[in-house]
């Protein structure tokens, strides 16, 4: 019973290894062939580049008389599985290294593209800033030119107006007009007062001399004007 149980365990293990080899064929696993032998319980595990492990434990009665149990020894299975693990580790490590190399290259390429895009963007923004500054400078120059022209025109108009006041004829005419306006103002202002004083003189005989004197002065003043 013990011998049969060991054979079943080995058969299950070999089946698992064969299934593993089928699923991981893309990883170039070292397991290339699990050939069924003449008898149903015998399996030959071939490892790439590895010699078949020597059988040190024949199992059963220890004489190796049965061909059914020649691959069912603990030593054989341990060495086979150990060799498989080592080669799988190497393959997986190599695949990881290649994947990391590809990812590193992709990251470098992405960084190069992003750096180029940033440089292009900065160049475009710099050009836009330069164009904007040029437009603003031109607008400022145009505005200053317009303001200078307006100031010149205003100065010319002011000088022309001032030149009118600088002539003797203009000043004389202005004085005559002013005197005429003053005479009219004085006449219009004093006339009612004279009338009122005359009426008062008639009614108030006591102050007649004083009022006559005042009226005389006013009349004299009007004559001088």
pLDDT (tens digit per residue) in 104-120: 899 999 999 999 999 99
In terms of average pLDDT, the best of 1-15, 23-37, 146-160 is 146-160
Question: Can you name the residues that pair with 47 across neighbouring β-strands?
Answer: 31, 50
Report d(CA 73, CA 122) in Å as an integer: 73
pTM: 0.31
Question: In whole numbers, what is the pLDDT of the chain averaged over residues?
Answer: 69
Q: Assign 62 a pLDDT band (cuts: 50, 70, 90).
A: very low
Q: What's the token pair of residue 161?
A: 């107006």
- Domain boundaries of the chain, sorted by first residue: 2-104, 168-224
Nearest to 221 by CA among 197, 199, 194: 194
Report d(CA 6, CA 160) in Å as an integer: 130
Q: Assign 29 a pLDDT band (cuts: 50, 70, 90).
A: very low
pLDDT (tens digit per residue) in 133-163: 888 888 888 888 888 888 888 888 887 777 7
Q: Output the CA torsion sign for 12, 14, 20, 23.
A: negative
């Amino acid at each position: 019973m013990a011998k049969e149980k060991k054979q079943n365990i080995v058969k299950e293990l070999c089946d698992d290894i064969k299934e593993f080899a089928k699923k991981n064929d893309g990883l170039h696993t070292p397991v290339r062939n699990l050939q069924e032998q003449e008898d149903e319980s015998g399996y030959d595990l071939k490892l790439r580049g590895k010699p078949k492990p020597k059988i040190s434990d024949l199992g059963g009665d220890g004489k190796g008389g049965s061909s059914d149990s020649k691959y069912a020894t603990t030593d054989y299975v341990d060495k086979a599985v150990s060799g498989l693990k080592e080669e799988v580790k190497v393959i997986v490590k190599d695949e990881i290294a290649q994947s990391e190399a590809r990812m590193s290259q992709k990251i470098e390429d992405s960084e190069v593209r992003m750096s180029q895009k940033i440089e292009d963007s900065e160049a475009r923004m710099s050009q836009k800033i330069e164009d904007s500054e040029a437009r603003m400078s031109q607008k400022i120059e145009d505005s200053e030119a317009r303001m200078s022209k307006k100031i010149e025109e205003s100065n010319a108009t002011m000088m022309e107006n001032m030149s009118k006041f600088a002539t003797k004829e203009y000043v004389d005419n202005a004085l005559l007009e002013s005197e005429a306006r003053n005479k009219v103002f004085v006449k219009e202002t004093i006339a009612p007062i004279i009338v009122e004083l005359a009426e008062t003189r008639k009614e108030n005989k006591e102050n007649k001399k004083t009022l006559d004197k005042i009226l005389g002065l006013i009349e004299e003043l009007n004559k001088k004007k």
